[in-house]
Amino acid sequence: MSKTMQLAMIFGLLVLLLVVAMMSGLIQSDRWRISQLEVAAEYQRITPEQLRLMVAKTPERSFFRLDAEQVKANIESMSWVRYAHVVKQWPDTLKITIKEHQAVAIWNGEDLLNQSGEVFKVDAVDHLKALPRIYGISEDSETTLQHFKRFNQLLKPVGYEISEARVNERGDWRLILRNGLEVLLGSEKHEARVLRLAETWDQLLATAERLPEKVDLRYSNGYVVKWRIGDEQTAQKVEFAVQEMG
């Protein structure tokens, strides 16, 4: 008899013994119980108690009968859980690894974006006031976040991050910075236009007596500024001419 056949016979015998044990009641919920829970999690948005409640949704505690995939599904149903990994370790341990979503923006007013641009839902977002708000097309969330991050990087010379960004189906972008400045980018040459504003920002302020309220970058050889007088807007528009960027 070959070694392969011997191994196959041994494996088959072990399976048979397991089936017999189950049928004879040797493996029951009150035997071979899982009594240890090992968790690897940072607990930023969920709590240990919430996790225990999710694990408890699967009442079976027998090592052989507990469904690790069902425990995983229960945990991943939690709003702030991005993914979970659940395995059983002989003889009495359930090991759980949890990765939470890291919210970077409020998406379309009611959902959230994580660091990868994935949309996820939570019960409420009103308390997350420090997060920027992004409004865009649902299926383009990842690309939209990439553009948002790039615009923020290019706008560093201006000294203010973006607090709100909107992009429509035509690709028109409108930004509002944390100082209230509204920036219109249009539907093309976005990076070049943002860079134009960043490179001329100090020059713009040096020649101005007031702070700008709105900057329209949708021009080939410059941009148009709406100025602020006190706390009120003025309809006066001033063109700030710059050379067209290549």
Inside any domain, residue 39? yes
In a shared domain, residues 122 and 162: yes
3-state DSSP helix/strand/coil percent for the chain, to nearest 5? 30, 30, 35
Q: Both 143 and 217 in a single domain?
A: yes
Please check whether residues 35 and 151 belong to one and the same domain: no
Contact in structure between 57 and 111 (CB atoms under 8 Å)? no
Residues in the chain: 246
- pLDDT score recorded for residue 28: 53
Has residue 18 been placed in a domain? no
The region that residue 109 occupies, defined by phi over 0 for left and psi between -120 and 50 for alpha, beta otherwise, is left
In a domain, 246, yes or no: no
Distance CA 243, CA 231 (A): 32
Among residues 131, 241, 146, 224, the alpha carbon closest in space to that of 191 is found at: 146
pLDDT of residue 60: 83
Q: Of 57, 78, 100, which closes a domain?
A: 100
CATH of the domain at 189: 3.40.50.11690
Last residue of a domain, one of 46, 78, 100: 100
DSSP 37-102: EEEE---SSS-HHHHHHHHHTS---BTTT--HHHHHHHHHTSTTEEEEEEEEETTTEEEEEEEE--
pTM score over 0.85: no
Per-residue confidence (pLDDT) for residue 5, from 0 to 100: 72
Q: Are residues 125 and 216 in the same domain?
A: yes
pLDDT at 3 (0 to 100): 67
Do 129 and 160 lie in one domain? The reply is: yes
**125 & 72 share domain:** no
Residues of the chain with pLDDT under 50: 21, 23-26, 29, 231, 233-238, 242-246
Structurally, the chain folds into a number of domains equal to 2
Same domain, 124 and 215: yes
What does the pLDDT read at residue 8?
64
Extract the tokens encoding 19.
């089936």
**Tokens at 57, concatenated:** 């949704």
Same domain, 54 and 87: yes
CB contact at 8 A, 101 and 45: yes
- Residue at 21 is within a domain: no
Give the three-state DSSP class for 119: strand
Question: Burial letters for 87-97: b for 16+ Cβ neighbours within 10 Å, e otherwise?
Answer: ebeeeeebebe
Parent domain of 154:
103-241
**Domain end call among 100, 128, 149:** 100
